[in-house]
Amino acid sequence: MTLASSVHLRSKLPDVGTTIFSVIGALSARHQAINLSQGAPDFPCDPALVELVCQAMKDGQNQYASMTGHPALKQALAEKVAALYGTHYDAAAEILVTASASEGIYAAISALVHPGDEVIFFEPAFDSYGPVIRLQGATPVALKLAVPEFAIDWDALQAAITPRTRMIVINTPHNPSAQVLSAEDLQRLAAIVRNSNIVILSDEVYEHILFDGRQHHGMATHAELAQRSIIISSFGKTFHVTGWRVGYCLAPAALMEEILKVHQFLMYAADTPMQVAFARYLQDAQNYLGLGAFYQQKRDKLQELLQDSPFQLLPSAGSFFMLASYADFSDESDSDMVKRLIVDYGVATIPLSAFYSDGTDNKIIRLSFARDEATLRAGARALCQVTPR
């Protein structure tokens, strides 16, 4: 029995309910479905990283860290970014450790976007962008990526910019399409925002997970864009510890100063033992440089296992994900298809329509291959049994 309230409320997000991930999770649990839906690994992280956290706790690193992050971790990040991407961030003034990448996204949008502003992002999109923009009294402007390439139409972006455009949200490698930006893409973006006051919020949580020899073309790889960009990344995605909820943010000092004003009242500081452990773990670059090859093996294995399925697999250039089209054998909505896969075949996926503000249905589902091989085999076996309806 729930407690009744006599208070009349006016919702800030009246059309927002429980996320599709929670809905699919609950339905999957009810049917004990194989989980190919969640963007979180189902295998353990490196035991050495756990030992580093335990040692930090034993060493008494259990109180608040500095509000902006553990100094050793920020210095390690500065060195990593400089070595990989060539941009030098001041560890004291331009790097922030956040309580998850999601907190970094919220803090950046909240700090820099005002009522009446417009924020452009590209759909399908991670589901937090639109609601966070709206919470600031700003207007989300969703531009659709071309299907099936999921490429940005740079001419459409140029046409969508108005005097009220304050921010453009970029995501590479992209969730859910698994596509990545190229050096040419960055040149196009730089030309569009040049001589403007538009800031770039770049969600790069899968920065180390690219395939087939591709390089990460994030904002820090382009000197001009780095000067107007906030870059968000995630230790959870990189080191298979999504439950630890630690991420980080890179930005020029003037932008970071505003972001810190919000961060201090959201979380103040991320968990100390994890920060100490990450600082030590980053000293060995192979702990993150080998991720692309690691996940490419999983991508390739799932592709191999699904070659006899009725689904058409779309290319996956990076991230944990692969898209699969069923348009050739069913007219079902993607939500109905996902429910049928759970109930009739015991495998959970995500409908691509969940990543569109208007529910656009391209008859595509998202699969996650951040799974151990037994789970990939079981999930693929179930998908290969799917029949038309």
- The pLDDT value recorded for residue 8 is 82
Q: Are residues 135 and 31 in the same domain?
A: no
Q: What are phi and psi of 245, to 5 degrees?
A: 55, 60
Q: Judge whether 10 lies within some domain.
A: no
> Domain with 379 in it: what CATH number?
3.90.1150.10
Q: Are residues 258 and 364 in the same domain?
A: no
- The pLDDT value recorded for residue 241 is 95
Two structure tokens written together for 268: 């103040």
- In angstroms, rounded to a whole number, what is the distance separating the alpha carbons of residues 101 and 205? 7
Q: Judge whether 188 lies within some domain.
A: yes
Low-confidence stretches of the chain (pLDDT beneath 50): none
- In angstroms, rounded to a whole number, what is the distance separating the alpha carbons of residues 387 and 374? 23
Q: pLDDT tens digits, residue range 224-264?
A: 999 999 999 999 999 999 999 999 999 999 999 999 999 99
- In angstroms, rounded to a whole number, what is the distance separating the alpha carbons of residues 368 and 229? 29
Q: Judge whether 388 lies within some domain.
A: no
- In angstroms, rounded to a whole number, what is the distance separating the alpha carbons of residues 375 and 199? 41
Q: What are phi and psi of 167, to 5 degrees?
A: -150, 150
Q: Are residues 31 and 116 in the same domain?
A: no
According to DSSP, residue 15 is labeled T
Q: Judge whether 365 lies within some domain.
A: yes
Q: Judge whether 177 lies within some domain.
A: yes
**Considering 232, 261, 287, which residue would you say is the last residue of a domain?**
287
DSSP output for 149-215: TTB--HHHHHHH--TTEEEEEEESS-TTT-----HHHHHHHHHHHTTS--EEEEE-TTTT-B-TT--
- The pLDDT value recorded for residue 37 is 92
Q: Kindly provide the b/e burial profile for residues 284-295, where b requires at least 16 CB atoms within 10 angstroms of the residue's own CB.
A: eeebbeebbeeb
Q: Are residues 51 and 196 in the same domain?
A: yes
Strand partners, 97: 248
Q: Are residues 261 and 346 in the same domain?
A: no
Helix axes 272-281, 47-58, angle to 10 degrees: 130
Q: Are residues 278 and 336 in the same domain?
A: no
Q: Are residues 217 and 322 in the same domain?
A: no
Quick check: 135 and 12 in contact, CB under 8 A? Answer: yes
Q: Judge whether 78 lies within some domain.
A: yes
Cβ neighbours of residue 290 closer than 8 Å, sequence gap 6 or more = none
Edge-to-edge strand ranges of the sheet holding 247-250: 95-98, 247-250, 229-234, 199-203, 165-171, 118-123, 139-144
Q: Beta strand pairing status for 364-368 and 321-325? A: antiparallel
> Domain with 175 in it: what CATH number?
3.40.640.10
- The pLDDT value recorded for residue 9 is 83
**Considering 238, 267, 287, which residue would you say is the last residue of a domain?**
287
- The pLDDT value recorded for residue 192 is 98
Cβ neighbours of residue 62 closer than 8 Å, sequence gap 6 or more = 272, 273
Q: Are residues 197 and 336 in the same domain?
A: no
Task: Quote the domain boundaries for residue 88.
Answer: 47-287
Number of Cα atoms under 13 Å in the Cβ half of residue 100: 10
Does residue 163 have a cis peptide bond before it, meaning omega lies within 30 degrees of 0? no
Q: Are residues 281 and 315 in the same domain?
A: no
- In angstroms, rounded to a whole number, what is the distance separating the alpha carbons of residues 75 and 278? 11
Q: Give the Å distances, CA to CA, from 302 to 102, 334, 339.
A: 28, 20, 21
Q: Are residues 248 and 206 in the same domain?
A: yes
Burial grade of 283 (CB within 10 A; 0-12, 13-18, 19 or more): exposed
**Considering 287, 313, 337, which residue would you say is the last residue of a domain?**
287
Q: Are residues 140 and 201 in the same domain?
A: yes
Q: Judge whether 7 lies within some domain.
A: no
Cβ neighbours of residue 71 closer than 8 Å, sequence gap 6 or more = 91, 92
| CA dihedral sign, ordered 151, 350, 127, 271 | negative
Classify 235 as helix, strand or coil.
Answer: helix
Q: Judge whether 195 lies within some domain.
A: yes
- The pLDDT value recorded for residue 156 is 98
Tally of domains in the chain: 2
Q: Are residues 53 and 183 in the same domain?
A: yes
